[in-house]
Structure formats: C-alpha cells, structure tokens
Amino acid sequence: MRSLKEYYWLLESFIYESYARGMRVKRALVMHNLEAPLIVSFTSYPPRFAKLHLTIKSILNQSIRPDKIMLWVAEADFAALTDEVLLLSKNNNDFEIKCCENIRSYKKLIPTLTFHPEAFVAIADDDAYYSTNWLHQLTSCYTDSSQIIAHRTHKVAYDTNCIFPYQQWAQTSNGTNNDVLMATGVGGVLYPPGCFNEKVLEKDLFMELCPTADDIWFFWMSRINGVKTVMTPHKTNTVCWIGTHDSGLAQTNVAHNGNDVCLNNLINSFGLDEILDTFPKKSKKEH
C-alpha cells in the first residue's frame, strides 16, 4: 500500500510532466558569468528515451545560457532516440547529441571531461524536470576551483581510521564547512576544470572498481585532488518522471549495497590514508 508521501510524489510528477509537455522552448539571452566555457552534460539510454525530451526542454529553458548542452548516448542506442529529441537538437545549435562507448552512467561526464578539459561541466540526470533557475543557482555559488557545487549531497560518515557503510551516510539539507559531502547527480552538480585526479579518466579502472557508482568514483577522485564538495543554500525542485526511476541504479547501489561494494573496491585499491587525510579530524566527542 502506498504512503501519502508516495501519492504526493506521483501527483507532483504528473503535474510537472503535463506542464513540460505543453512547455515551449524559450532560450535565455543572458550567458553565464564563469571564467571558462560552461557545458551541461548528461546521458540517457532506451528505457528513458520516451520522456527524455521533457528533461531536455527544462534544460534548454534555463534562466542563464551555457555555452553548450551535450547529450551522450551509446552508439548502439542512437537509432532509438525519439523524433522529439532529434528535433530539439536540430532547432538548437548549442544542443549536441554525441555517440560514445557504452560506459554506463559515466557517459554523462567522462566523454565531456575528455574532449573539454578546460570547461566547467554541470551534470544533470535524464529523468527529471529542472526548474528554470537550476543552473544559475549552481553557477552563482561558485567561488574558486577548490570546490564542487551540488544541489543534493550525502554527508559521509567516517571515523579516524574508517569510512562507515553508505547506509549510514545522511542525505543533507544544509551541510557545513566541516562536513565531508558527496555530490549526488540527480540534483545537478557543477564541476570546475581541473577538479579531478588524473586517474578519473581511466576507464578500465573505474569500470572495474565502481561500475555502478559514478558518484562515489567522482567523489574519491576529487577529494584526493584536494577539492571538496559544497552544497548550494538554494532550495531547488527536481521532480523525477513517473516510470523512469525504477530502471536506474538506485536499486543496485542502495537496496543491494552496491555502493559499499564499490567503496570497498576503492579502499582496497587506493588505501584509506590518502582520502582520510583530506577529511576534518574527528574530536573525541565525535567518536
């Protein structure tokens, strides 16, 4: 039996989907104010293609304009894209659809990092409606290259000599400077150029260690590079479409402890000392 919260989510999703279907694309004239190019990057796959154009319309309708919007799909999936998606690309010169190797959810960021290392990259999910101020809220919080900006984060639970299982990490609504935060992609994340360790692009490594948990891989690669994640103070309403969320990685990563498997793989490969050295030291009261 569904809870009241689930019924509310279903109603909200239905309302936003109806709105997005009737929404016309109105591109912003105001460009972003970052010091390097800004690319919005995301990926998708056939189970989500039916509603993908709704997400794209919400990204095109942002209140500020990025330099480029890039959708990455596996070569084998390109032919399945809907006419609605192809038409949006045809009518908007800065929205490009590119094919790449099928590296699962990593397609949303790795190809863009590879071809545009000089750019800021804002990642989005393919199954959500993004409010018109979503991108501006990310970019307006950026101050320097030592910080990744995220709308949605988890607070990493750890002690002086260990990182606790993912189930003990708390989703945060207002992280502090002393918290160790991991960005989660659904809300949107802004990555500044040069924020990752050079190993971030090593496909064989991330597909072996973290095949289903790109968020954890990007967190690890940024922390060991001296870059932390901060959460925006803004409330943003990101609504997922009905019928798309079940086909993603949430079941594998959370319900079946997939995140912990990937986390342990990273610990076994890289060791704990390097990343724990980047965390604030725990006081005796916190132990």
Give the domain CATH number at 120. Answer: 3.90.550.10
> What CA–CA distances, in Å, run from 188 to 129, 206, 260?
11, 21, 23
Residue 222's pLDDT is 98
Percent of the chain with pLDDT over 70: 92
Residues in the chain: 287
Q: How many CB atoms lie within 10 A of CB 122?
A: 25
What pTM does this model have? Answer: 0.94
Q: What is the pLDDT of residue 235?
A: 82
Amino acid at 71: L
State which H helix or E strand residue 209 sits in: helix 203-209
- Quote the CA–CA distance of 232 and 247 in Å, as a whole number: 28
Which among 17, 19, 247 is positioned nearest to 128, based on CA atoms? 17
Crossing angle for the helix pair 258-270 and 214-223, to the nearest 10 degrees: 30
Q: Is the dihedral of CA 15, 16, 20, 24 positive or negative?
A: positive
Q: Measured between alpha carbons, how far is residue 128 from residues 6, 46, 55 in Å?
A: 16, 15, 6
Tokens of 154: 């988890």
Greater confidence, 256 or 120?
A: 120
Instruction: Write the pLDDT tens digit of every residue in 163-186.
Output: 999 999 998 866 566 789 999 988
For 77-135, how does the pLDDT look when each residue is reduced to its tens digit (9 = 90+)? 999 999 999 999 999 999 999 999 999 999 999 999 999 999 999 999 999 999 999 99
144, two tokens: 């320097």
pLDDT reported for residue 283: 67
- Site of tokens 């999910």: 125
Q: What pLDDT shows up at residue 66?
A: 99
- The residue behind tokens 């989510």 is 9
Q: What is the pLDDT of residue 123?
A: 98
Question: In b/e form, how buried is each residue of 200-218, taking b as 16+ CB within 10 angstroms?
Answer: bbeeeebeebbbbbbbbbb
Q: What's the pLDDT tens digit per position in 15-62? A: 999 999 999 999 999 999 999 999 999 999 999 999 999 999 999 999
In angstroms, the Cα distances linking 280 to 105, 154, 159, 160, 177 are: 30, 16, 10, 9, 9
Our count of domains for the chain comes to: 1
Q: Check pLDDT > 90 for residue 243.
A: no
CA quadruple 27, 31, 133, 186: dihedral, nearest 10:
90
Instruction: State the number of CA atoms in the 13 A half-sphere of 81 facing the CB.
Output: 24
Residue-number span of the structural domain to which 28 is assigned: 4-286
- pLDDT at residue 286, rounded to an integer: 59
| Percent of the chain's residues with pLDDT above 90 | 83
Give the whole-angstrom CA distance, residue 266 versus residue 215: 13
> Could you tell me if 41 and 138 are in contact, meaning their C-beta atoms sit under 8 angstroms apart?
no
**How many angstroms separate the CA atoms of 12 and 68, rounded?**
30
pLDDT value at 248 more than 70: no
Q: What mean pLDDT is predicted for residues 188-200?
A: 98
Separation CA 239–CA 185 (nearest Å): 13
Contact 56, 127 (CB under 8 A): no
pLDDT of residue 282: 78
pLDDT at 287 over 60: no
Dihedral of alpha carbons 102, 108, 112, 118, sign: negative
Model pLDDT, residue 213: 96
